[in-house]
Amino acid sequence: MEMVDFSKACPHHSKVSSAFLDPLGSHLLLSLRPTGASDPGVRPELLYLNRRSQKPRVVTKARGNLVTAVAWSPSNASEAVTEPILLGTTKGVIFECELDSGGEERILFSGGSNPDKYWRMAYDLGRGQHFPITGLAYYSNSASEERSNRLGYFVLVTTANRLYQFVGMVGGHEDRPLLTHVFAGDQVGINCLKDATSGMILAWSPALSSTRLRRT
């Protein structure tokens, strides 16, 4: 067992709000939020840690956004790169990014150690209001590629009492950004969860390779 010291990477008067581990167990994200007695200048942060490293790194472009949900790539088999992932926040904003472990070669040629390879705002459900996203997941439809030479994707998003579904087509799995095209389409489904007074989350089941809706 190895111990990782997060104290140097964590701002003063901040604490861990949520932890998100990918299905491979290779990529860890820690969402940090200011404590009640924190300085007004202290903002939410996001830390990334790769299983081969003991040095957590700050995702600087996430600064000021409290991440509450993560959709990991369902096809990723790399321990070094996350492939495209989605980040949901307390403001209802969804970001798309891709993180890598930041090997020495990349740091040398990029001039820095920020782990994000790219960063895009994909969608804004909150429109400036407090609108926490409680769950995120996305999947591809390989059958669509056989029919049209384009790859179909759908994204599921949950809030406290709603389930959103976005459906769209992209040129291929290597497109970057990948999922912003899905959010830009006009195929959006919204379901109101009338009995979800205590909130809903999306729970991923590795045994069943599926995502299920679960009451919290």
* Total number of domains in the chain: 1
pLDDT tens per residue across span 19-65:
999 999 999 999 999 887 556 678 999 999 998 888 888 999 999 99
| Residue 157 near residue 176, CB atoms below 8 Å | no
Half-sphere exposure of 208 (CA within 13 A, CB side): 6
Position 6 in a domain = no
DSSP letter string over 71-128? E--TT---SSB--SEEEEETTSEEEEEEEB---HHHHHHHTS---EEEEEEEEESSTT
pLDDT tens per residue across span 86-97:
999 999 999 999
Position 10 in a domain = no
Position 184 in a domain = yes
Position 211 in a domain = yes
Quote the mean pLDDT of the chain.
Answer: 79
Domain that holds residue 203: 16-215
List Cα–Cα distances, 202 to 28, 143, 164, 192, in angstroms: 18, 25, 12, 15
What is the average pLDDT across 135-147? 74
Residue 155 token pair: 């994204």
Position 125 in a domain = yes
pLDDT tens per residue across span 181-192:
888 876 666 666
Say whether 48 sits in a helix, a strand or coil.
Answer: strand
Position 175 in a domain = yes
Position 8 in a domain = no
Position 4 in a domain = no
Q: What's 43's DSSP letter?
A: -
